Amino acid sequence: MSKKTLTLMSKDKQLFNIEEHLAVQSVTIRNMVKEDGASSVIPLPRVDSETLALVIEYLNRQQAPEEDEDYVKKFVDERGEIPTLLELAQAALDLDIKKLMDAACMKVADLIKDFTLEEVREALRIENDRTPEEEKAIRDEFQWAF
Amino acid sequence: MEDQDQEEGSSDESMPWQIVKDDVVVIWWRPIHRKNIFEKGDIVFPRGVGGRDAIIDGGGATLVPVAALYQYLSLEIEIEVEVAIEMAVKLPDELIVQIISFYQQKRFFVAVQLPDELIVEIISFLPAKSLLRWRSVSKSWLNLMSSTKFKLMHLHNFNQLNPRYFVRRLDFYASEEWFRVHFDNEAFTSDRGTQIEFPLDDIRVNICFRILDGLCGESLAVMHSSDLYGLKSGSTYTYTEVAMGKPLRLRNNGDMIVELEKGDTVMKKH
C-alpha cells in the first residue's frame, strides 16, 4: 500500500512534502485532512521555509514513543537561538503540535530567565508602554527580586 | 552617548570589525588602537538577540541591534550580512551616533509581535523571581501575569519542571524547628546545594511538604530558591521576608494545608 503524501507551502511559497500519517501529528493538519481530504497544497502563511523545514524534520523523526521526550528536548537544544526557537514555537502553535511548542517554550524560558527587563523586552519583542516613574514604582515594590 | 569616551577620535581612527562566534556575526565599531576586546566607547551591532551571547561581557560597549541600523536607514530587515558590513564601513561617525540615539529613544522595535498564547506559555516556565522582576515589562504583560488562568498554568508548569519539598524539622533536643527547601531528587539536596542527613534520625521529626507555590491566588508565595526568602541552614529568618503580606499555602501529598502568615517565624524556639 502506498503511503499518501501531503504538500505544505511556507510563507515564501516553498513546497514541502510529507507523508500524511506523519503530518497528522499536527492537530491543525489532522483536522484539515478530516474535513476535505486535503488533496491540494496546504498553505501555512505564517511559517517561513526555514522554520517549516525544521518542523518537517521533527515530524519525520523515527523514534519509539518512549524516546520521544528525550528526542524533542534534544531537538530544541540543538537550535538554541532565541529567534529560531520563537519561530519554531509559533509554527508549532499554529500547527498545534503541543510537545514541540512546550519544548521550545521551555527552552526559551531557560535562556531568558536571568535577563534584565530591557533584555527580556528585546528578546520577546515587547514594547515598553510604561513611563519611567511607573516602572520605578513597580521596581521599588519588589526590590528584592532584582 | 555617554558611553563614548574621550579616546574616540576622528572618523579615520575608527573602523568596523567583524567577528564570528557560534554562527553569530557581530559588526563591531571601535577606535583603531584598541585591543581585541570590547570596552566602553565601542559600538557593537550584534545580529539579532543571539549576538548577545558572543558579547555578553561587552565591558560597557554600546549594543545596538543591526535591525536598528536597517530600520533607521529605511532598509528591508532581511539584508545580507556582507551588505551590512559594507554599509557600516562607509557610515560616518555622526550617522552612527544618530542611529544609536534613534535606537535608545525606543522609536525602534522589532517587527512582529508574538501571540499572547506563546508569551504565556514561555513565562509559565519561569521562576516567580524572574516574573516579579519583569512585572513592569509592559501593561499587557502584567495583565497576563495577573490572570487566574496564568497563575494556575504557572503553578503546574513551573512545579512540574522543578519539584521541590519544603521540610519542616522539629529538633526535640535543641527545641528548635527548622524549615528548608529540598529538591525532589535522590540526593535530596537543598536549594543552596547543602545536604541534610537522610534518612533522617528518629529524634527529629520531619514533615515534608511538596511545594505548591508560584503566583497562586493573591499571595506571591515565592518559594523557589532559598536565598529569596532567607531559608539558609542554621540561620534564623522570619517570613516577613517572604510572604509578601499574604498567607503562604503549603500542601503535602495528603490534604494537610499549612498556612503561614506574614511575620511567622521560620525557626521557632520551643
At B239-249, the pLDDT tens digits run 223 333 333 34
Per-residue model confidence as pLDDT tens digits over B149-208: 777 777 777 767 766 665 555 555 666 555 566 665 555 555 443 344 433 444 444 444
- CA torsion through residues B68, A120, B3, B19, sign: negative
B47 compared with A67, residue with greater pLDDT: A67
Q: Of A122, A130, A146, which is closest to B139 when you measure between CB atoms?
A: A130
B158 compared with B17, residue with greater pLDDT: B158
What are the two backbone dihedrals, phi and then psi, of residue B96, each rounded to the nearest 5 degrees? -60, -45
Per-residue model confidence as pLDDT tens digits over B168-179: 555 556 665 555
- Cβ-based contacts of B49 with chain A (< 8 Å): 81-83, 122-123
Q: Of B110, B134, B139, which is closest to A120 when you measure between CB atoms?
A: B134
How many other C-beta atoms are found inside a 10 Å radius of the C-beta of residue B145?
A: 21
Across the interface, whether the CB atoms of A106 and B112 are under 8 A apart is answered no
Across the interface, whether the CB atoms of A93 and B117 are under 8 A apart is answered yes
User: What pLDDT shows up at residue B136?
Assistant: 76
User: What pLDDT shows up at residue B74?
Assistant: 63
Alpha-carbon span A22 to A19, nearest angstrom:
6
Mean pLDDT for the stretch of residues B25-54: 50
Q: What is the pLDDT along chain A (146 residues), one digit of tens a residue?
A: 457 888 888 887 889 999 988 888 899 888 888 877 656 788 887 888 888 999 999 998 876 667 777 888 888 888 878 888 988 998 999 899 999 999 999 999 988 888 888 788 878 877 777 777 777 776 666 555 54
Q: Of A82, A112, A117, which is closest to B136 when you measure between CB atoms?
A: A117
Give me chain A's average pLDDT, please.
82
User: What pLDDT shows up at residue B17?
Assistant: 53
User: What pLDDT shows up at residue A55?
Assistant: 93
- Paired sense of beta strands B62-63 and B24-31, if any: unpaired
Full 3-state SS string of B6-30: CCCCCHHHEEEEEEEECCEEEEEEE
Q: What percent of chain B has pLDDT over 70?
A: 19
Across the interface, whether the CB atoms of A81 and B228 are under 8 A apart is answered no
Across the interface, whether the CB atoms of A93 and B134 are under 8 A apart is answered no
* B48 CB within 8 Å of a chain A CB: yes
Place of cell 557593537: B44
Across the interface, whether the CB atoms of A122 and B49 are under 8 A apart is answered yes
Which three cell numbers mark B204?
A: 527529629
Mean pLDDT for the stretch of residues B72-87: 61
Across the interface, whether the CB atoms of A129 and B119 are under 8 A apart is answered no
Alpha-carbon span A14 to A8, nearest angstrom:
8
* B268 CB within 8 Å of a chain A CB: no
* Closest Cα in chain A, distance from residue B69 (Å): 15
> To 10 degrees, what angle do helices A82-95 and A27-36 make?
30
Across the interface, whether the CB atoms of B241 and A144 are under 8 A apart is answered yes
User: What pLDDT shows up at residue A100?
Assistant: 92
What 3-state DSSP class applies to B110? coil
Q: Most confidently modeled of A103-107, B63-67, B124-128?
A: A103-107
* Closest Cα in chain A, distance from residue B237 (Å): 15
* Closest Cα in chain A, distance from residue B198 (Å): 30
Which three cell numbers mark B153?
A: 498554568
- Cβ-based contacts of A139 with chain B (< 8 Å): 136
* Closest Cα in chain B, distance from residue A82 (Å): 6
Closest residue in A to B65 (Cα) is A122
User: What pLDDT shows up at residue B21?
Assistant: 44
Across the interface, whether the CB atoms of B111 and A125 are under 8 A apart is answered yes
Across the interface, whether the CB atoms of A142 and B115 are under 8 A apart is answered no
Please name the residues in contact with B98: beta carbons below 8 A apart, sequence gap of 6 or more: B72
Which three cell numbers mark B267?
A: 525557626
pTM of the predicted model as reported, rounded to 2 decimal places: 0.54
Alpha-carbon span A137 to B115, nearest angstrom:
28
User: What pLDDT shows up at residue A68?
Assistant: 75
Alpha-carbon span B168 to A78, nearest angstrom:
41
**Which B positions 235-264 lie with beta carbon below 8 A of chain A?**
241
Q: ipTM score of the complex?
A: 0.81
> To 10 degrees, what angle do helices B148-161 and B116-123 make?
40
* Closest Cα in chain A, distance from residue B109 (Å): 7
**Which B positions 120-159 lie with beta carbon below 8 A of chain A?**
121-127, 129-130, 132-141
B228 compared with B102, residue with greater pLDDT: B102
Which amino acid would we find at residue B12? Answer: D
Asked if B66 and B45 count as a contact pair (C-beta separation under 8 A), the reply is yes
Which three cell numbers mark A73?
A: 528536548
